[in-house]
């Protein structure tokens, strides 16, 4: 069995990317920073699926961790790409949905 720090590399990689994303967001590179946070969470879901032992990245069952990391990662990445002004991703039916609900 590897020593404790060597077993924690999946958690350290995800936390490092999230920290870098937060740092970029703090330096007013909002879209890239939040997109990096979303990609880090998606990467955490992939690591949880692919590796048999992910250290402290495993919080709940494998399925629950993958769904939680994946859904949050995709949601954060989509919101980062749709943020105003000048969104990178435009979804036309959302504008119509907002128009008819208000």
* pLDDT tens track for 65-79: 999 999 999 999 999
Query: pTM for the complete prediction?
Result: 0.85
Number of domains in the chain: 1
Number of other CB atoms surrounding residue 3 within 10 Å: 7
pLDDT at 68: 97
Query: What does the DSSP assignment read for 66-77?
Result: HHHHHHHHHHHH
Range of the domain at 24: 4-101
Q: Using 70 as the pLDDT threshold, list the residues of the chain that sit under it.
A: 1-2, 98-99, 102
Q: How many helices (H) and strands (E) are present in the chain, helices listed first?
A: 5, 0
């Amino acid at each position: 069995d590897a020593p404790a720090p060597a077993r924690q590399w999946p958690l350290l990689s995800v936390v490092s990317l999230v920290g870098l994303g937060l740092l970029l967001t703090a330096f007013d590179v909002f879209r890239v920073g939040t997109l990096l946070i979303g990609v880090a969470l998606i990467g955490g879901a992939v690591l949880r699926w692919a590796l048999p032992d992910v250290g402290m990245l495993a919080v709940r069952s494998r399925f629950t961790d993958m769904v939680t990391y994946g859904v949050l990662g995709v949601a954060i990445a989509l919101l980062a790409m749709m943020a105003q002004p000048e969104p990178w991703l435009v979804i036309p039916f959302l504008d119509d949905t907002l128009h008819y609900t208000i």
